[in-house]
Chain A
Amino acid sequence: MKQFIPKITFWRVVATIIVVAGLYSTYLRFTGGLGASTNLSDDFPWGLWIGFDILVGVGLAAGGFTICAITHIFNIEKYKPLTRPAILTAFLGYLLVIFGLMYDLGKPYNIWHAIIYWNPRSVMFEVAWCVMLYTTVLFLEFLPIALEKFRLKKLLSFMKKTGILIMITGVILSTLHQSSLGSLFLIVPQKMYPLWYSGLLPLYFFISAVGAGLTMVIFEAYLSARAFNKGIEADLLSRIGLYSVIVLMLGLIIRLVDFFLTDKIHLLFTINNYTLLFYLEILVGTLVPFGLLIQKRIRENRRWLYASSIMVISGFLLNRLNVSITSITPATGVNYFPSINEISVTLMLVTLGMWAFKIIARNFPVFASEVHYENHQLNFDQKLSESNL
């Protein structure tokens, strides 16, 4: 029985502290209300929980639908080994988004009202439905993995036949709500700093989600390699890296052309904190990784690929938070900064997500499309004690 007591490791201690802090903040949130636990106010009603937990969470989970589209709709089968981890990441990502919403919504127990009270004019209504449906789709996409584990062959073959319908539905739902998260901000033209406001926000959100979602597949592969002491599919991932920066570059070009067409070019030469953040966002998120990964030698180098994926994700974080928080700041006249509770709940959500991924990946054939560096089942106990998080 000894091996069931987990070994104390650095990251386990950190994770435990984060979760304990998060639970305390959860207590404050649900006993004192949003006012007691967050720095949100009438002037600044949307903060870190919307900007990070929702916008970033949904955006980075886009790897699930892009990889599915590549392997199951465009039938480029060599990328199949990446499908399952991407689906699992997306599934957990969406569950966390819904979980995060429970904190942010003033009346979380009314969340199901979106099902019965309809307002089709509302972008939020559309997002709510897409997220609900897509989470179901992700569950169905993940189901075969579970069925395989329990060897339910009949159900499995049925799932395989209907698979393509599920996949197409998933891609369409994702296209809709990834872009609609951008549409959420279409309605505040007078509030947003013009560097980030554009009628094309839905398109930008979609393109950047595709690009960053693909990059997230790379980053997640490194995380899995770290957690499970396994190899990475370096050749596949370096191709994915290339596609991702090409998509992001395309997005940036459209954005700059739009600047030109809407006479916003002068803003790029107005030096203030907003312009600097904008430059940081496009440099870190698109230009530098593009310059790096476009070179074969660099993208096939594991370290550079990792570094580039970190850059792309950082740029994506900057973009979503710039849209949702930075750009709103000048119009509201308040300087919002998240409270310690908002931060600790967010950290807890990410930690729980990684923890859940680890447990599921260990018990279901998530990496089965790839020959393992080590055998999970056999070394289960050993790794339970060795692993870090």
Chain B
Amino acid sequence: MVALFVVLTFLFFILIDLLVLKAQGKEHPAFAVRVFDKRFFFPTEAILSTGHLWLQKAQNGLYKLGIDEFILKALGKLHLVPLKTEGESVSKGEPILQAVFGNRTITFRAPVDGSIRFLNKNIIQKQVDDPYGDDWALLIEPKNDLPVSSAFLKRGNDAIKWLHDEFNRFRDFISAKAGQPELAGVTLQDGGNIVEGVLRSFDDNTIKEFEEQFL
């Protein structure tokens, strides 16, 4: 009897916790967190810039612009803030978009010359869930026609391949940073999978370096 009572008490607390999570509309984080793996998806019609922004042809010569999955996996939960207003023109390399995570940001640079035509109002203060779909950032009208392929703009399998290379580069980057004395003990090899949002663990300098090396 006592044995049953103890087991039922244990199960009761676990059940209550699941109900509490449900009432709060949350998922148990152990089930929600995903490992940052190599599996990338990139839409066939889109073009990927080497600054981790994608462009996809919309109507009237306008292109949708958004961030890629890689950024989302590296930073975890984030929301986007456009740095330009509608109608403003932007030249290649100029800051165009910011990703905000926690109290920190990284800045994306424009992949092409052009002018901003429309900002996606739906993403204001909203976490990015679907980077290639509803959660695009803005509509841009490029000055010139986009090339079919270039060192900076990649399509289809090229884009996926490039993302894989970026992933490897990112893993090395994280490993090197994790070897720093103030983060001693952090291992990524053997079992220590990179979890999504791994960059959040690092200090501001590392984030800045990431920005310089990857964006």
Interface residues of A (CB under 8 A from B): 10-11, 47-48, 51-52, 77-81, 148, 221-222, 225-226, 229-236, 277, 280-281, 284, 302-303, 306, 310, 313-314, 317-318, 321-322, 325-326, 335-338, 365, 368-375, 378-379, 388
Contacts and interface: CB of A to CB of B under 8 A. Distances in A.
A310 B3 contact: no
Contacts of A231: 29-30, 33-35, 195-196
A372 B17 contact: no
B200 A325 contact: no
Contacts of A365: 185
Interface in B2-44: 2-7, 10-11, 14, 17, 20, 28-31, 33-35
Given A230-B33, A234-B35, A310-B14, A318 B3 contact: yes
A366 to B, nearest CB: 10
B178 interface: yes
12 contacts: A10-B20, A78-B191, A231-B29, A231-B33, A235-B191, A236-B191, A310-B14, A371-B198, A373-B200, A374-B201, A375-B102, A378-B102
A47 B2 CA distance: 9
Given A11-B20, A374-B200, A374-B201, A369 B187 contact: yes
B76 interface: yes
Interface string B173-215: 0100010000111111011111111101110000000000000
B148 interface: no
- What's the interface size class on B, roughly? 35 or more
B151 interface: no
Nearest to A335: B1
Interface of B: 1-7, 10-11, 14, 17, 20, 28-31, 33-35, 76, 102-103, 174, 178, 183-188, 190-198, 200-202
A48 B2 contact: yes
10 closest Cβ contacts across the A-B interface?
A321-B3, A231-B33, A225-B30, A78-B190, A78-B191, A231-B195, A372-B201, A368-B185, A325-B2, A222-B30
B157 to A, nearest CB: 28
A388 B26 CA distance: 12
Contact of A230 (B29, B174, B188): B29
A232 B185 contact: no
A226 B17 contact: yes
A103 to B, nearest CB: 17
B30 A369 contact: no
B2 A370 contact: no
Contacts of B202: 375
B200 A375 contact: yes
Contacts of A322: 3
Contacts of B11: 310, 314
Contacts of B198: 371-373
A317 B6 contact: yes
B193 to A, nearest CB: 7
Contact of B192 (A81, A232, A379): A81
B10 A314 contact: yes
Contacts of A306: 28, 30-31
A326 B20 contact: no
B1 to A, nearest CB: 6
Nearest to A47: B2
A45 B195 CA distance: 50
A302 B3 contact: no
B30 A81 contact: no
Nearest to A315: B7
B77 to A, nearest CB: 10
A11 B18 CA distance: 12
B9 to A, nearest CB: 8
A160 to B, nearest CB: 12
B173 to A, nearest CB: 12
A336 B2 contact: yes
A227 to B, nearest CB: 9
Contact of B7 (A226, A314, A337, A368): A314
A222 B195 contact: no
Given A230-B33, A373-B197, A80 B2 contact: no
A370 to B, nearest CB: 6
Given A52-B6, A369-B192, A81 B201 contact: no
